[in-house]
């Protein structure tokens, strides 16, 4: 009989209350959102949009034209996209090389005109795109150039690079010209190094450049910035004036806390319009913590804010799992958000080739105050458990440039042992939302094959997608205008949402992903939402598909279907025809599941073990024509060009007779994806209950039944309000939660919201009996919980990883 668990957490000592909180202004910019996205599906897009709280940019990369610059006032933030885009195209930005009094315009090279540029960085605070292989119009010197377009939420820039190693001896100049629509902008050029721009909705911008010897002038409606070619770059830097906030006067100091006397470089980067703080990388690989002391001092009588970039280049330890956490002086996570962007690709020469890791944030410091923070970086482990992380992974210097390559790619990992689940929201390379998927804590079982090794990359069993629509001719109708919201990045639980619309604007689409800190196997939640606005017709609809028709790396010999009560059906895989083989498999019960097991290792030369996959339907609400509809499973055979074999995909569908959705219809589902070892002795993690179970049932449907049955948590609240079941989220009442949880496996994430400060609250969690101390997960001090700030409610959210396993199972 299982031992029951009683768990009580009184989170902070009374003495902590006396320490007080950091200045609340540090979270003033947590509401920030920046988006870079395409108006159409990627293969049809010649232009991209950048949209923030404060501005909207529309850029045609094929013609190298900025066709729209729209200032956004606070009262305009809910305007429709069509209002921001506008009905007419402007021609705002032009770039030139001046030589002997002649100006030669910078244009696209016809050979690479279809390439929309590299998506270098993207996230909550900062977006950057780079368009290379530019040239001069006919008659100009045979030089190459590149254009960088970058944006914070309140600042943006255009930088023209001279992309040649040698400088000509002749005197030449780089020139940027800006023609702002006079109906919307008034230009004041009284200052020779700065221009003031006033928009018709009372937004003020300061325009400067990146070098002191650059000149700025305004004449006959044209702003002109000029720089000697010897500078090798020229920038037009726009910065918005924010009422009651000032920038440029903060003093910033940084030290390596693991080597207390080592000062770290911090400097103001005009082009990136931020202070850059170098990270030391001084940490034990996978098991250590890098700790950077950062001091912000405001010597003025006005509040000062600063855009901050934490940067590590060259050798970046364990880059596949990067968690960056801002903590206070005592080591308490603050919830100040950080955007994480990284790149480890260096296949060929590129301006932004890796490896590099960058964290972006914005802080505001009150007048005459000094604030000390700690940037904590962990890779493999946060405390004693592997950290969960989700960040943008740049594809610059990876693969060949083509219309669909080098765009937005997201990588999530448990620990820092290689990727675990990757996402490509625009499907540029794989035409699939989920790309690479790799199991956790598996090692080779073959003595003559060393990979996968412990704490290293594992085999790719990837591929998956959501809401794949097809018309009556079999053409896919893609999701477009995908924007990404990074709600929480690390280290206990990730939460990232992808929002878009269907091909002809018939429905709003949203996919929210979660990956959790654990020590058994990869578990991810997917919340799928579709709200229909007008008639949406289709010949086929896969609500979810694993792998995918355009990205499949694994195939299984058996499939099984069941629910929380056990097995309903097991079938052998048939690959004797393409298309649907088995359809209309019902999904009864509270936790319907499917197991894709007895997977074949198609890459025996490289990997000594493989993995199985499975799905659980955790929550389902489908309303069509005002009636509740149950989804169904099916198998779909597709010939995978990637592994040169027919592969059977698992699909989740609507009933076969439904071929259209109409206004008011909706799909709202939460799915759990599991990636499991399929050889009994391949798992090397330290979860004894899972190790004991998998040693007997590794290559069967039993692991999926175990997860569906025993990891369906039951929650009883004595104080607090349940907001979400998968993963669990509870709203605190007066900074307190009293919660009883039964049933569960591994480590279950529990998020507590509505907390009035980040370090003084009381949480009581019980599981019928024996007490469990979460502090046992601590390693370096205060490194076992996660804190996030909710800018809408101006409250904090705290996430714990609660151990639910018994030491051994019968």
Could you give the 3-state DSSP secondary structure of residue 703? helix
The pLDDT of 772-792, averaged and rounded, is 94
Per-residue model confidence as pLDDT tens digits over 295-331: 999 999 999 999 999 999 999 999 999 999 999 999 9
For residue 14, what pLDDT is reported? 31
Q: Tally the residues of the chain.
A: 810
Count other Cβ atoms within 10 Å, centred on residue 345. 19
Of 509, 450, 521, 501, the closest CA to residue 693 belongs to 521
Could you give the 3-state DSSP secondary structure of residue 382? strand
For residue 807, what pLDDT is reported? 57
CA distances from 654 to 248, 661, 662 (A): 57, 11, 14
The pLDDT of 442-457, averaged and rounded, is 96
For residue 356, what pLDDT is reported? 98
Comparing 11 with 434, which gets the higher pLDDT? Answer: 434
Q: Are 514 and 487 in contact (CB under 8 A)?
A: no
Percent of the chain with pLDDT over 90: 85
Q: Are 598 and 612 in contact (CB under 8 A)?
A: yes
Whole-prediction pTM: 0.95
Of 397, 406, 430, 402, the closest CA to residue 114 belongs to 402
For residue 18, what pLDDT is reported? 37
Of 360, 327, 326, the closest CA to residue 341 belongs to 360
pLDDT band (50, 70, 90) for residue 749: very high
For residue 77, what pLDDT is reported? 66
Q: Alpha-carbon distance 513 to 496, whole Å?
A: 5
For residue 745, what pLDDT is reported? 96
Percent of the chain with pLDDT over 70: 96
* Whether pLDDT at 572 is above 80: yes
The pLDDT of 62-77, averaged and rounded, is 90
728-731 and 666-677 strand pairing: unpaired
Listing DSSP states for 705-716 in one string gives HHHHHHT--EEE
- Calculate the average pLDDT of the chain: 93
Q: Are 640 and 628 in contact (CB under 8 A)?
A: no
The pLDDT of 488-504, averaged and rounded, is 97
The pLDDT of 174-191, averaged and rounded, is 93
Comparing 142 with 9, which gets the higher pLDDT? Answer: 142
* Whether pLDDT at 790 is above 60: yes
* Whether pLDDT at 436 is above 90: yes
Strand partners, 340: 359
The pLDDT of 582-610, averaged and rounded, is 95
Could you give the 3-state DSSP secondary structure of residue 441? coil
Q: Alpha-carbon distance 549 to 530, whole Å?
A: 21
pLDDT band (50, 70, 90) for residue 5: very low
Highest mean pLDDT among 68-77, 78-87, 107-116, 674-683: 674-683
The pLDDT of 582-590, averaged and rounded, is 94
The tokens describing 167, both together, are 């400088």
The pLDDT of 538-549, averaged and rounded, is 96
Of 31, 789, 786, 26, the closest CA to residue 371 belongs to 26
Q: Alpha-carbon distance 38 to 633, whole Å?
A: 32
* Whether pLDDT at 569 is above 90: yes
Between 116-125, 244-253, 641-650, 669-678, the lowest mean confidence (pLDDT) is in 641-650
The pLDDT of 82-93, averaged and rounded, is 92
Q: Are 789 and 335 in contact (CB under 8 A)?
A: yes
pLDDT band (50, 70, 90) for residue 21: confident
Dmax (CA) of the chain: 90
């Amino acid at each position: 009989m299982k031992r029951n668990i009683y768990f009580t957490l009184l989170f902070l000592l009374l003495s902590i209350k006396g320490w007080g909180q950091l200045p609340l202004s540090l979270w003033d910019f947590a509401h920030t959102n920046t988006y870079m996205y395409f108006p159409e599906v990627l293969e049809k897009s010649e232009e991209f949009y950048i949209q923030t709280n404060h501005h909207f940019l529309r850029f045609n990369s094929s013609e190298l034209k900025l066709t729209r610059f729209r200032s956004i006032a606070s009262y305009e933030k809910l305007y429709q996209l069509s209002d921001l885009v506008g009905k007419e195209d402007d021609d705002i930005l032009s770039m030139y090389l001046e030589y002997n009094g002649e100006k030669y315009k910078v244009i696209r090279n016809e050979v690479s005109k279809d390439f929309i540029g590299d998506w270098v960085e993207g996230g909550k605070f900062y977006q950057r795109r780079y368009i290379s292989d530019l040239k001069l119009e006919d008659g100009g010197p045979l030089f190459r150039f590149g254009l960088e377009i970058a944006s914070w939420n309140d600042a943006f820039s255009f930088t023209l690079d001279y992309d040649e190693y040698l400088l000509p001896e002749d005197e030449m100049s780089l020139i940027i010209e800006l023609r702002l629509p006079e109906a919307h902008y008034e230009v004041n050029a009284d200052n020779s190094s700065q221009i003031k721009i006033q928009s018709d909705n009372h937004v003020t911008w300061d325009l400067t450049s990146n070098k002191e010897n650059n000149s700025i002038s305004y004449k006959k409606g044209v702003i002109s910035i000029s720089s000697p070619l010897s500078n090798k770059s020229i920038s037009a830097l726009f910065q918005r004036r924010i009422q009651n906030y000032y920038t440029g006067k903060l003093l910033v100091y940084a030290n390596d806390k693991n080597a207390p006397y080592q000062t770290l470089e911090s400097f103001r980067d005009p082009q990136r319009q931020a202070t850059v703080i170098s990270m030391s990388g001084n940490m034990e690989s996978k098991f250590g913590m890098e700790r950077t002391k950062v001091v912000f001092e405001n010597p003025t009588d006005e509040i000062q804010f600063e855009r901050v970039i934490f940067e590590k280049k060259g050798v970046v330890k364990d880059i596949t799992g990067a968690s960056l956490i801002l903590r206070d002086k005592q080591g308490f996570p603050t919830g100040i958000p950080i955007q994480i962007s990284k790149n480890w690709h260096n296949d060929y020469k590129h301006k932004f080739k890796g490896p590099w890791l960058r964290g972006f944030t914005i802080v505001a410091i009150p007048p005459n105050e000094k604030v000390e923070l700690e940037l904590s970086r962990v890779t493999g482990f946060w405390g004693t458990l592997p950290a969960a992380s989700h960040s943008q992974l740049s594809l610059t210097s990876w693969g060949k440039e083509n219309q669909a390559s080098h765009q937005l790619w997201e990588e999530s990992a448990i620990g820092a042992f290689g990727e675990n689940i990757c996402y490509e929201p625009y499907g540029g390379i794989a035409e699939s939302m989920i790309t690479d998927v790799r199991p956790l804590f598996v090692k080779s079982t073959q003595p003559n094959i060393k990979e996968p090794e412990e704490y290293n990359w594992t085999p790719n069993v990837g591929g998956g997608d959501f809401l794949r629509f097809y018309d009556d001719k079999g053409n896919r109708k893609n999701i477009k205008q995908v924007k990404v919201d990074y709600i929480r990045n690390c280290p206990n639980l990730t939460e990232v949402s992808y929002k878009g619309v269907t091909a002809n604007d018939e429905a709003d689409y949203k996919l929210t992903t979660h990956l959790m800190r654990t020590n058994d196997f990869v578990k991810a939640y997917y919340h799928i939402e579709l709200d229909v606005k007008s008639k949406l017709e289709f010949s086929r609809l896969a609500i979810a598909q694993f792998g995918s028709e355009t990205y499949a790396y694994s195939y299984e010999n058996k499939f099984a279907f069941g629910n929380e009560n056990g097995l309903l059906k097991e079938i052998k895989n048939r690959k004797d025809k393409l298309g649907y083989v088995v359809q209309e498999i019902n999904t009864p019960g509270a936790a319907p599941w499917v197991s894709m097991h007895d997977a074949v290792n198609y890459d025996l030369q490289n990997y000594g073990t493989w993995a199985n996959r499975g799905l659980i339907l955790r929550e389902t609400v489908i309303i069509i024509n005002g009636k509740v509809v149950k989804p169904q499973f099916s198998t779909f055979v597709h010939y995978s060009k990637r592994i040169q074999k027919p592969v059977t995909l698992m699909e989740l569908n609507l009933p076969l007779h439904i071929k259209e959705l109409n206004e008011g219809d909706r799909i709202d589902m939460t799915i759990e994806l599991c990636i499991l070892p399929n050889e009994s002795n391949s798992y090397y993690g330290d979860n004894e209950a899972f190790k004991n179970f998998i040693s007997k049932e590794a290559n069967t449907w039993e692991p999926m039944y175990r997860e569906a049955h025993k990891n369906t948590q039951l929650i009883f609240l004595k104080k607090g309000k349940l907001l979400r079941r998968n993963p669990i989220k509870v709203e605190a009442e007066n900074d307190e939660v009293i919660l009883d949880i039964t049933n569960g496996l591994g480590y279950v994430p529990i998020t507590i919201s509505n907390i009035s400060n980040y370090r003084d609250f009381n949480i009581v969690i019980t599981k019928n009996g024996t007490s469990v101390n979460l502090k046992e997960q601590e390693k370096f001090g205060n490194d076992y919980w996660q804190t996030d700030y909710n800018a809408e409610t101006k409250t904090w959210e705290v996430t714990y990883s609660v151990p639910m396993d018994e030491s051994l199972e019968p």
